[in-house]
């Protein structure tokens, strides 16, 4: 799996942010709020169908339209990107150290708490 394209990412950001099932029109309205040049309905519909075929979105009929919902979380997506890095043969320890160097103290504290909870049998 490779990362999302620009429009795929924008659509998934809307779906993840809104949380509930959305129609193509609702996603289109959100996307066009922040764009100087409006996207076409058919363009967004096509990309949402591609995301559905890739199993990132599920859909359910609602009248004449479909409502789409994310099947995986933003965190699962980010983890899949990291898995791709591991597949390149990168040195995991060196990569993690570099990543942790970029984190602020609060993020490091959250990570330590999550690791401690995981050691105690819980999952974060």
Higher pLDDT, 95 or 6: 6
Domain containing residue 29: CATH number: 1.10.10.10
Which has the minimum average pLDDT: 8-17, 73-82, 84-93?
84-93
Assigned domain for 124 exists: no
Q: How far apart are CA 109 and CA 116, in angstroms?
A: 11
Count of domains observed in the chain: 2
User: pLDDT (tens digit, 9 = 90+) per residue, 88-104?
Assistant: 877 888 888 888 899 99
Which residues contact residue 37 at a Cβ distance below 8 angstroms, ignoring those fewer than 6 apart? Answer: none
Higher pLDDT, 53 or 90: 53
Assigned domain for 1 exists: no
Containing structural domain, residue 23: 6-70
User: What is the structure's pLDDT at 1?
Assistant: 58
Helix (H) or strand (E) holding 63: none
One domain for residues 64 and 90: no
One domain for residues 62 and 81: no
Assigned domain for 56 exists: yes
């Amino acid at each position: 799996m490779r990362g999302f394209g620009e429009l795929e990412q924008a659509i998934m950001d809307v779906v993840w942010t809104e949380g509930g099932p959305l129609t193509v029109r609702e996603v289109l309205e959100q996307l066009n709020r922040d764009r100087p040049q409006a996207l076409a309905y058919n363009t967004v519909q096509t990309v949402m169908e591609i995301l559905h075929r890739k199993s990132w979105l599920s859909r359910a009929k609602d009248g004449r339209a479909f409502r789409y919902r994310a099947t995986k979380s933003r965190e699962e997506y980010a983890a899949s990107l990291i898995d791709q890095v591991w597949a390149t043969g990168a040195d995991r320890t060196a990569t993690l150290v570099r990543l942790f160097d970029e984190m602020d103290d609060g993020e490091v504290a959250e990570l330590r708490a999550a690791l401690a909870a995981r050691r105690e049998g819980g999952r974060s």
